[in-house]
Amino acid sequence: MKYLALEITVLTGLPGSGKSSLARQLFPQYKRINLDTLKTRAREYKEISSALEKKEPIIIDNTNLTMKGRKRYIDIAKAHNVPIRSIYLKCPVEVALERNRSRIGKEHVPDFVIKMYHKKLEPPTESEGFDFCEVIEIDKSDSKK
Ligand SMILES: Nc1ncnc2c1ncn2[C@@H]1O[C@H](COP(=O)(O)OP(=O)(O)OP(=O)(O)O)[C@@H](O)[C@H]1O
Ligand SMILES: [Mg+2]
């Protein structure tokens, strides 16, 4: 995977596809931005701005399923003249459901939400404004790993 000193990486993937795990494992030095934790867009924007000021690379760890939803990060990157890339966790809905099944408490998402999100998912493309788009293909046999 290409490494850029200062950049914004936007993850896209269903709930349960493994975004937060990937962010923690592969990008431990990145500032991880998660809207569920930060609660408001205002706080999210503040966190992103302060990381950029400190020259910290950023990983956006939300489902980021639609082009419209991803545009806010593309706009921020362009405004700051910072490269932006997409990493799409292409995950069969069965695998997301299976991984979600093992989560408890607030982490657990109802099955119908995952199925609904699967229908509305728009795979990221460079034409949206990403400098590049990477795809991580998750195999059906990965579900029980
Ligand atoms: N590569 C993997 N192989 C097997 N299990 C995995 C893998 N990555 C993550 N998991 C497991 O799948 C579950 C979901 O992972 P994770 O919380 O990272 O998903 P997420 O995409 O961040 O979901 P959400 O959008 O709900 O935050 C967790 O229980 C995690 O341990
Ligand atoms: Mg997560």
For ligand 1, atom 31: residue with the closest CA: 21
**144 is a domain residue:** no
Mean pLDDT across 88-117? 95
Q: What is the pLDDT of residue 75?
A: 98
CATH, residue 83: 3.40.50.300
pTM for this predicted structure: 0.95
Total tally of structural domains belonging to the chain: 1
Q: What would the pLDDT profile of 5-56 be if each residue is shown by its tens digit?
A: 899 999 999 999 999 999 999 999 999 999 999 999 999 999 999 999 999 9
- Of 91, 137, 89, 97, give the one whose Cα is nearest residue 114: 97
Cα(131) to centroid of ligand 2, in Å?
24
Query: For residue 117, what are the domain limits?
Result: 8-138
109, 15 contact by CB (below 8 A): yes
Cα(74) to centroid of ligand 1, in Å?
25
**55 is a domain residue:** yes
Phi, then psi, of 35 in degrees rounded to 5: -65, -35
Mean pLDDT across 106-130? 96
**38 is a domain residue:** yes
Mean pLDDT across 113-126? 98
pLDDT of residue 2 exceeding 50, the answer is: no
128, 74 contact by CB (below 8 A): yes
Cα(107) to centroid of ligand 2, in Å?
8
**23 is a domain residue:** yes
**73 is a domain residue:** yes
Q: What is the pLDDT of residue 143?
A: 57
For ligand 1, atom 11: residue with the closest CA: 99
